[in-house]
Amino acid sequence: MDILVFGRSGQVATELAARAAPGLRITALGRDAADLETPGACAAAIRAHAPEAVINAAAFTAVDRAETEEETATRVNGAAPAEMAEACAARGIPFVHISTDYVFDGSGTAPWAPGDPTGPLGAYGRSKLAGEQGIAAAGGVHAILRTSWVFSAHGANFVKTMLRLSETRDALNVVEDQIGGPTPADAIAEACLAIAAGLRADPARGGVYHFSGAPDASWADFAREIFARAGRAVTVTGIPASDYPTPAARPHNSRMECAATEAAFGIARPDWREGLGRVLDRLDAVRPIPE
């Protein structure tokens, strides 16, 4: 299968590119080849490469900056994915798009199901929801995969931030009243490839799906596990999110119901603790922990 990936240096895009193999050609496009801020660039890239499926792993992910740059965030996260979906629909090929738990308002304690009402708290969530709506309106074969708390051995993420802080700190305050599923980027990449193949085999399986790591945890829980597995003597004190104000509000409840994803594609929730072990193994030779 010949897959075109939008995104080249991000966490999931990097993992996707690493999965090229005989019978699976993956072409990853960076901003120099397809600038998501430029209208028409994504559609032109799809026409030029003529792939058998497209995966969008590119996004404006600076959640706080989106509050002051919502127009740019909406172009990248909203208009560009819609344009990709329209181009894929015109060619009759499947489109897989990565979305986020931020499309929900984070209320309650029950896991969010794909069909639950959305209600973004801020600009980032609104921009991602706009993308979902544009993709659905394009009318082609597509899957929107909402995920959360992505981490890997590359790029900027919570694991690397915690490890970097542990180089100079022996105690940290970490938010304990936001709950979600940390998700390894390599598992998301595998899921996207499986979904793309599944949609080619059976286009009726398109729709909105959830995919997050298990078990659900707080950021403080996540940090404690990072330090325990990395052998770092850091004491983690759980604090409420109100003690750590940010420009953009974060969902308190990011639990996600992922049963439909497993039923449709045979993809179970990954154990994020195993994924964390893989990431720490890959980072073991890296000192200091990179930015």
Known catalytic residues are 124
At 271 the three-state DSSP class reads: strand
Cα distances from 222 to residues 10, 56, 159, in angstroms, run: 21, 27, 8
In the numeric block, the tokens 């073991």 are attached to 284
Cα distances from 10 to residues 67, 214, 258, in angstroms, run: 21, 22, 24
CA angle 254, 257, 262 (to 5 degrees): 135
Nearest of 63, 110, 158 to residue 255 by alpha carbon: 110
Q: Which two tokens stand for residue 209?
A: 């799906």
Question: Is the alpha carbon torsion for 64, 69, 71, 77 positive or negative?
Answer: negative
